[in-house]
């Protein structure tokens, strides 16, 4: 396992997911929204959020989209690509985009433009983690779980070259590990 140190514990994560769900449920114009998760990092957060929303009487349709901009490295400025499927038909629907982390914003800005063109009735963005110091686009999340420093994170769906995704907490990867892997 890649060397790391705890940044956000399980209890804090679960408390914040519950708070987000309450806020989102109060804002939703429909009890049956489409939740569109951005793979792969969002799947753990998405599962927790769906269950937390159900506690507020929300019964979402769950769909996922896979986007990529990292290709063979971590250079965020490369073109964003939709991988392996088409975007769902969301015309006239209430849609909440769910992602694990808002970093540069390039990936989500591309997705946002594509989704907006599909004319949903309501479109919002929820990201569990936000790195404001890394933002490079004008898009901002409507719902943010926690703001984090500009460090590489693993756990709760986030990984470093496949490692750490299953950790039940969020951890910062040691700087030495980042240098070894080229991040």
- Which positions are catalytic? 103
Residue 177's contacts (CB-CB under 8 Å, 6 or more residues apart) are: 2, 3, 4, 160
Going by the DSSP 8-state scheme, the letter that residue 109 receives in this structure is H
| Residue pair 5/120 in contact by the 8 Å Cβ criterion | no
Stated as kind and residue range, the H or E segment containing 15 is: helix 10-27
Q: What are phi and psi of 35, to 5 degrees?
A: -100, 120
Residue 169's contacts (CB-CB under 8 Å, 6 or more residues apart) are: 6, 7, 8, 9, 10, 13, 155, 156
Dist CA 39 CA 41 (whole Å): 5
């Amino acid at each position: 396992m890649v060397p790391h140190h705890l940044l956000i514990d399980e209890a804090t994560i679960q408390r914040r997911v519950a708070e987000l769900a309450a806020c989102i449920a109060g804002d939703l114009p429909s009890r049956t929204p489409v939740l569109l998760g951005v793979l792969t990092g969002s799947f753990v957060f998405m599962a927790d959020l769906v269950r937390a929303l159900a506690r507020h009487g929300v019964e979402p349709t769950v769909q996922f989209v896979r986007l990529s901009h990292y290709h063979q490295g971590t250079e965020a400025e490369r073109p964003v690509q939709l991988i392996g499927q088409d975007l769902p038909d969301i015309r006239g629907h209430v849609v909440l985009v769910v992602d694990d982390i808002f970093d540069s914003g390039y990936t989500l800005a591309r997705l946002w433009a594509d989704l907006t063109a599909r004319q949903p009735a309501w479109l919002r963005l929820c990201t569990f983690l936000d790195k404001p110091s890394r933002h490079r686009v004008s898009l901002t999340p409507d719902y943010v779980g926690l703001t984090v420093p500009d460090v590489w994170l693993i756990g709760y769906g986030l990984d470093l070259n496949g490692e750490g995704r299953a950790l039940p907490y969020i951890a910062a990867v040691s700087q030495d590990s980042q240098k070894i892997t080229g991040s």
